[in-house]
Structure 1
Amino acid sequence: MKKILFTLSVILSLTACSDDEIASPEIGLTEPDGGYTIDKMQWLRIQPEVKNANDATFSWSLEGEEIAATANLVYVFAEAGTYNLEFKAKNAGGENAKIFSVTVNEKTYLNKITQVFDFLPAPGQSVNKLPAAIDKDTDKATKDTDETMRVKAETSLTSNSMVSLGGFGGYVVFGFDHTVVNKEGNDFIVKSNALATWAEPGTIMVSYDANGNGKADDEWYEIAGSEYNKETTIKNYEMTYYKPETEPTNASEPNYIRWTDNQGQTGYISKNSFNRQAYYPVWKGATITFKGTFLKSNIAGSGNSWSNLPYEWGYSDNWANTNEKAQINIDWAVDKDGNAVKLQGIDFVKVYTSNRAEGGWLGEVSTEVSGFTDLNLP
């Protein structure tokens, strides 16, 4: 890449104006000595003060190519180097521009989950086991809470161990030590334990740190996989689980944890003889409600033979980690209205179980997460 160094800011005034004419925009921004400096895969944020900005339009260009049409710039560089960045403000009175030098430093990052922001599984056969939860105070431990379970999930996922999200809606929210840049082609994999004939698909949501506070509290976008526009898919689905008053004493119980949904349906999660612990998150209250996109499962079988075949593309715990169909493209993201969005990169990922299904002795379909790979890191 050709490097262009600029040591002086350049202000262009294309139109002079008299006292009774509209004044052209005035860009007030002091460039740091030597220009701006940022590490690659970290957000560069520039907020110019523009006077006479009424009815003005704005443009940011990188090496002559427009990258934004906003007053403020939020941009992430994928590669180290020195860049020419130009900001223009234009109204009926004229146009002003300012040119900056931006130095992007090389940086090495971890290719893994580095933080868990939230964790709440729906009832399921591996809940309270992956990770383990403590129900009652003892001499050696204290009953778990939302925060202690978040820390346990973080400990598991930052060490490439597994967490279970339970039945429909159970989720985990995590992040990284860098921004996952949206490059050409597929960008990341959410690692799982998917098998060729037993998928437990999870819907993937992505977000970027728009407000710059380092928290996963910005707008979320859904990765619109192969099932997104199918007639069997239900958007804005809600499911409520009810904590049983007592645990069953028999080896298995088909009518174990009751659920209802916003489609007028009700049913139960079964308890099986292979997992005897409580399936309802022991640190939560009498009911839990989850919301999201419901996907009709491919579950089929009877007796000892069951399968839940994967969807074509766009989900976690759907294809084996080594299969190209497990890879996710950030360009598949859509907003809450289903409109495609173009994200420069993402900082946060949310995964939740997409299905409400059981496979006999195999139990309920429950998404598992065991890690993350940024396909754009070496």
Structure 2
Amino acid sequence: MKKNLFALSLAILSLTGCSDDEISSPEIQIQEPENGFTLDKMQWLRIQPEIKNTNNATFIWSLDGEEIAATANLNYVFAEAGTHSLELKAKNDGGENTKTFTVTVNEKTYLNKITQVFDFLPAPGQSVNKLPAATDKDTDETMRVKAETALKAGNMISLGGFGGYVTFGFDHTVINKEGNDFIVNGNALTTWAEPGTIMVSYDANGNGKADDEWYEIAGSEYNKETTLKNYEMTYYKPEVETKASLAEYIRWTDNKGQTGYISKNAFNTQAYYPLWKGESITFKGTFLKSNIAGSGNSWSNLPYEWGYSDNWANTNEKAQINIDWAVDKDGKAVKLQGIDFVKVYTSNRAEGGWLGEVSTEVSGFTDLNLVN
């Protein structure tokens, strides 16, 4: 009889004493400043909470009662000043917990221009080593500084032929609002466009460097059959430099088995190959078929419909870019709250007789959020 009672007791304990198998609800720990989170508008609010018991958990961030994210960590940027209530709700099979706190967003005045250049490397072209000026004593860093100095002052730089690029940033985040968001300023004319492909990125890791994932602005040419993705072009430094015009001046090859030459014209007799670089340079990107046409003294290069820099006049609405046009490396649309970095590179390889090669120029940047 005692044995039966003991066995029954063990059975009951085995049914009721299963605390090790119980699922605990998530525990949220956030290091909150004494007076809540405070930041300036157009700057990222980054919160990385410590959360325990996250198996099969879901997360909802709500701002003033409206859901804004479904991730454990939060990156959010505010367009306007104000005071807000922010809530994180974490839920799993064991239950849910919430954490609510205050966010104060301060007013701030920003510069509507480029404030930093991270990288600059033009491909060979007729304005290279002139915009900005360069010598063989220059380095990647000194040329970066020269490009930064020019763009901060609203002066023009040239990116040369296909692939030549510049990467720059601002003193604030360019917010993805409804409608168009920014313009990369160039010097496009009605019948002579020199389109540049635009890449955008945001400071996901918060280190202030342009080292996060890049997204291409998929303009009007992105899905055309004539557009080449993952294109590569390599330029070779001339063995002998000359000031005379020359049809076969700088040789190039590409990853499609093609080869050709950049010519030198009589109007720009300086070296076209970047003086501070080695024997060859390779550029990669999306190659767009140009609209160049003409002969003799009459040439045109008509703009693409939309989505590029130095393509339409800066004052033309078609020069404006919508951040919602951004796609990832697989061509899938992405929804970005805002951007901190922009990269522009010349989108094709074409020459217009005496006018020389098509080369994207950049002279500044306009955040349409800051335009009254």
When the two structures are superposed, what TM-score results if normalisation uses the length of structure 1?
A: 0.92
Alignment of 1:97-108 (within 5 A): 97-108=98-109
2:321 to 325, 328, 333: 328
| Structure 2: distance between partners of 1:26 and 1:85 | 17
Q: Secondary structure at the match of 2:62?
A: strand
2:224 to 225, 230, 244: 230
Alignment of 1:264-275 (within 5 A): 264-275=257-268
Corresponding residue number in structure 2 for 1:115: 116
Corresponding residue number in structure 1 for 2:188: 194
Corresponding residue number in structure 2 for 1:6: none
1:205 correspondence with 2:182: no
1:318 correspondence with 2:319: no
| Structure 1 residue 54: Cα displacement | 1.6
- Counterpart of 1:217, as a letter, is D
Corresponding residue number in structure 2 for 1:12: none
Alignment of 1:272-283 (within 5 A): 272-283=265-276
Q: Deviations over 1:225-245 (max 9, x none)?
A: 000000000000000000001
Corresponding residue number in structure 2 for 1:68: 69
Q: Which runs of 5+ in 1 are unaligned?
A: 1-16, 136-142
Corresponding residue number in structure 2 for 1:373: 366
- Counterpart of 1:357, as a letter, is A
Contact 2:188 2:194 in 1 (8 A): yes
Q: Deviations over 1:95-142 (max 9, x none)?
A: 11111110000000000000000000000000000000012xxxxxxx
Q: Secondary structure at the match of 1:116?
A: strand
Corresponding residue number in structure 2 for 1:293: 286
Q: Secondary structure at the match of 1:284?
A: coil
Corresponding residue number in structure 2 for 1:24: 25
| Structure 2: distance between partners of 1:64 and 1:367 | 46
Q: Secondary structure at the match of 1:152?
A: helix
Corresponding residue number in structure 2 for 1:126: 127
| Structure 1: distance between partners of 2:66 and 2:334 | 20
1:244 correspondence with 2:238: yes
2:150 to 156, 173, 192: 156
Q: Which runs of 5+ in 2 are unaligned?
A: 1-17
Corresponding residue number in structure 1 for 2:339: 346
| Structure 2: distance between partners of 1:355 and 1:266 | 14
| Structure 1 residue 57: Cα displacement | 1.1
Q: What is the aligned length?
A: 354
| Structure 1 residue 18: Cα displacement | 6.3
- Counterpart of 2:259, as a letter, is T
Contact 2:23 2:94 in 1 (8 A): yes
Q: Deviations over 1:217-271 (max 9, x none)?
A: 000000000000000000000000000011135x310100000000111000000
| Structure 1 residue 35: Cα displacement | 1.1
| Structure 2: distance between partners of 1:262 and 1:31 | 53
Q: Secondary structure at the match of 2:370?
A: coil
| Structure 1 residue 30: Cα displacement | 3.4
| Structure 1 residue 53: Cα displacement | 1.1
| Structure 1: distance between partners of 2:184 and 2:105 | 28
1:96 correspondence with 2:90: no
2:175 to 178, 181, 186: 181
Q: Deviations over 1:299-337 (max 9, x none)?
A: 000000000000000000000000000000000000000
Corresponding residue number in structure 2 for 1:4: none
- Counterpart of 2:233, as a letter, is M
| Structure 2: distance between partners of 1:225 and 1:363 | 25
Corresponding residue number in structure 2 for 1:41: 42
User: After the TM superposition, which of the residue ranges 60-69 and 311-320 deviates more from structure 2?
Assistant: 60-69
| Structure 1 residue 84: Cα displacement | 1.1
Q: Secondary structure at the match of 1:338?
A: coil
| Structure 1 residue 181: Cα displacement | 0.4
| Structure 1 residue 64: Cα displacement | 1.5
User: After the TM superposition, which of the residue ranges 63-72 and 115-124 deviates more from structure 2?
Assistant: 63-72
Alignment of 1:129-144 (within 5 A): 129-135=130-136, 143-144=137-138
1:364 correspondence with 2:357: yes
> Whose radius of gyration is greater, 1 or 2?
2
| Structure 2: distance between partners of 1:36 and 1:189 | 32
Corresponding residue number in structure 1 for 2:84: 83
Contact 2:242 2:271 in 1 (8 A): no
* Percent sequence identity over aligned pairs: 86
Corresponding residue number in structure 2 for 1:52: 53
Corresponding residue number in structure 1 for 2:11: none
- Counterpart of 1:326, as a letter, is A
| Structure 2: distance between partners of 1:20 and 1:205 | 50
2:209 to 207, 215, 228: 215
| Structure 1 residue 362: Cα displacement | 0.3
| Structure 2: distance between partners of 1:277 and 1:118 | 23
Q: Secondary structure at the match of 1:376?
A: helix
